[in-house]
Copies of this chain bind each other. A is one copy, B any other.
Amino acid sequence: MSLPIVEAAYKKEKPETEQIPFGRTFTDHMFVMDYEEGKGWHEPRIVPYEPLTLDPAAMIFHYGQTVFEGLKAYRTDDGRVLLFRPEKNFERLNLSGDRLSIPPVDEDEVLGYLKELVALEKDWVPEFEGTSLYIRPFIIATEPSLAVAPSKSYKLMIIMSPVGPYFSGGIKPVTINVEDQFTRAVKGGTGMAKTAGNYSSGYQAQAKAAKEGNADVLWLDGVEKRYIEEVGSMNIFFKIDGEIVTPALSGSILQGITRTSIIEVLKKWEIPVTERRISIEELYEAYEQGKLEEAFGTGTAAVISPVGELNWLGKKMVINDHEIGALSQELYDTITGIQRGRKEDSFGWTIEV
């Protein structure tokens, strides 16, 4: 049984993907499915990419009941299209949804719909090195009501956008500011969920960091303002005196799928990796002792984003002389190799569309 499809009457021109800005161009079609109390999720369909019409009282505009995901489709050298662990994204969509009181979707079913959408838009998956088709599933509360309570209706949509390489001209280690005042998330809050409010709440800290020449923010925990959590849209790993460490899932950080994959790769390589609390003081001490060997962010956008410099209360930690570390490079090559079908996928992580 296939999805009903309303084909777009007009097909857009596909952009030159070498340098297309992130998330501004969308493919010809999108996926939509509705939820209504008593009826459940229903009417899955593919329609032309087109504006949404909502009541000004729709709850998404007032109380932020919404969750989203982010994954990519990759083009292999022989022209096939691969998805990387997409089932994990729908699993996390439901996890986030649970925190936001949004009714769960059938993960397998929605993954099936996504595959149909990607198949239809196959020509939109770019070929150029480092490019991909970014996929954004999201659910929004649509009931027109100002009551502060869970919505009785929702819309799940999947939109897709071809994206250029994260690093044009090769990987460049970034400079990151350790935020000491603003808080992203706290135990008992929504930090472990991929929900809208977690992102705009970081804009002030982002602007502050950018002002001093930093590309991103490293968040500390909301309770003691000591323990390292994550970067803007990435989890973080450190190589300290030969040991790989990453903050444990505290309840206030996102369980990144790249993070999970990196841990599994390291385990396979028999490189010890520890998930635990790491304070910024401990990190600084390691740095002073010359033991902070590598640092890198992990996420769907860049896969691995090496950190060349950390700024913390006027103190500067220059890591690996602003160069990408050997381990960071190896992890990057391995994961991107699997994603683009160039390395053997011994984990069974990719799904061909």
- Which of B138, B197, B206 meets A149, CB within 8 Å? B206
A183's partner among B23, B57, B188 (CB-CB below 8 A) is B188
> How far apart sit A206 and B65, CA to CA, in the bound complex (Å)?
14
Of B63, B146, B161, B189, which one neighbours A222 at CB under 8 angstroms? B189
User: Which has the most chain B C-beta neighbours within 10 Å: A49, A138, A200?
Assistant: A200
Q: How distant is the Cα of A64 from the Cα of B187 in the complex, in angstroms? A: 20
A52 at interface by CB-CB < 8 Å: yes
Q: Is the CB of B66 within 8 A of A149?
A: no
- Binary interface profile of A, 134-161, with partner B (CB < 8 Å = 1, else 0)? 1010101100111111100000010101
- Inter-subunit contact A55/B51 (CB<8 Å): yes
> How many copies are assembled?
2
Q: CB distance B51 to A53 under 8 Å?
A: yes
Q: CB-CB < 8 A to A144: which residues of B?
A: 24
Bound Cα distance from A296 to B30, whole angstroms: 49
Q: Which of A293-314 contact B (CB under 8 A)?
A: none
Bound CA span A223–B204, Å:
21
- Contact between A188 and B197 (Cβ–Cβ < 8 Å)? no
Main SS of chain A's interface residues?
loop
Complex Cα distance A146/B185, Å? 21
Q: Which 7 A/B pairs are nearest by Cβ-Cβ distance?
A: A197-B197, A23-B146, A64-B196, A183-B188, A65-B200, A63-B199, A101-B203
Q: A23 near B200 (CB under 8 angstroms)? A: no
- Pick the contact of A189: B49, B60, B201 (CB < 8 A): B201
Contact pattern, A 340-353, Cβ under 8 Å of B = 1, otherwise 0: 00000000000000
Q: Is A68 an interface residue (CB 8 A)?
A: yes
Contacts of A271 in B (CB 8 A): none
| Chain B residues within 8 Å of A61, by CB | 60, 66, 138, 140, 196
With contacts A138-B62, A187-B183 taken as known, whether A149 is within 8 angstroms of B196 at the C-beta atoms is no
A189-B196 in contact given A52-B56, A146-B134, A161-B146 (Cβ < 8 Å): no
A-B contact pairs, 14 of them (CB 8 A): A23-B146, A52-B58, A57-B136, A60-B196, A62-B199, A64-B64, A64-B197, A101-B207, A148-B199, A181-B188, A182-B188, A185-B189, A187-B222, A190-B201
> CA A35 – CA B5 in complex, angstroms?
36
Give the docked Cα–Cα distance between A199 and B61 (Å). Answer: 11
Q: Which residue, A50, A190, A195, has most C-beta atoms of chain B within 10 A?
A: A190
CA A199 to CA B59, docked complex, whole Å: 11
In the complex, what's the smallest C-beta–C-beta distance from A2 to chain B, in angstroms?
23
Best-buried of A61, A150, A207, A233 by chain B (most CB within 10 Å): A61
- A280 interface residue (CB < 8 Å to B): no
Q: Contacts of A141 on B, CB cut-off 8 Å?
A: 200
Q: Say yes or no: A68 contacts B64, CB within 8 Å.
A: no
